[in-house]
Amino acid sequence: MNSKNAIIYLLFDQKQFFEECPKGLLIPVLITLAYTLLSIVFLIPADPFMAVMTVIGGVIGVFISWAVVAGMFLAGVKLIGYAKCTYKQMLAVTGYASAILAIGALLTGLVGLIGTVDPLMNLAVQGALMFWCIPVWVFGIASITELPPKKVFTCILVPMILMIVMSVVSYIMTASLTESAAIYAGSESGSAAEYKMSRF
């Protein structure tokens, strides 16, 4: 399987991809690292120290999230499906979903260069990306277990619901903070205007 076919299969024919993809963690790690860099490249501040801290924090955060997702899926597969697979195998197959997340990060970053990314739009993008990742997770996990894809979907349904809930909570908190900041900025502008008028 050449690189061009590998990319096409990973994005649009995950069953075929996992029948032929190389084993091991190296490629998923590189894909996840590329996703991390795409996620933070549009957010890197001008200050060198802050830029380094942003990169380090971004890499650590993404890799921790990857490890947590793999752990939740492994728990679901073992507790519900009684399947035999290792945490390393689960890390490998779930790591390939970072390719789809990288596309989302790139599109979001490009939109952010044009204007402010609306939290609701960001939530919609996250939802679309999650649904796109589902075939990667399902066929990837099926390739390392003896479970059929439908059974795999059942096993990882609870972790996926938790991820959706977390995304919605994050959206609500972001929207609330944005609204509070706008109200605060408006009150500050009003206070400044009143102060100027009181001087005349």
How many whole angstroms separate alpha carbon 199 and alpha carbon 93? 67
Long-range contacts of 1-7 (CB under 8 A, 24+ apart): 7/99
* Residue 146 pLDDT exceeds 90: no
Q: Hey, how many other C-beta atoms are within 10 angstroms of the C-beta on 71?
A: 15
> What is residue 46's DSSP assignment?
S
Confidence (pLDDT) at 139: 96
Inter-helix orientation angle 98-114/26-40, to 10°: 10
Query: What would the pLDDT profile of 48-85 be if each residue is shown by its tens digit?
Result: 888 888 888 889 999 999 999 999 999 999 988 888 89
Confidence (pLDDT) at 182: 53
* Residue 156 pLDDT exceeds 90: yes
Query: What would the pLDDT profile of 119-134 be if each residue is shown by its tens digit?
Result: 777 778 888 999 999 9
Confidence (pLDDT) at 152: 94
The residue type found at 104 is G
The residue type found at 125 is V
* Residue 1 pLDDT exceeds 80: no
Residue 100 lies in domain:
3-198
- Burial class from Cβ neighbours inside 10 Å (0-12, 13-18, 19+) for residue 37 reads middle
Confidence (pLDDT) at 136: 96
Query: Which of the four pLDDT bands, split at 50, 70 and 90, describes residue 31?
Result: very high
Domain count within the chain? 1
How many whole angstroms separate alpha carbon 34 and alpha carbon 29? 9
Query: What would the pLDDT profile of 88-107 be if each residue is shown by its tens digit?
Result: 999 999 999 999 999 998 88
CB 101 within 8 A of CB 133: yes
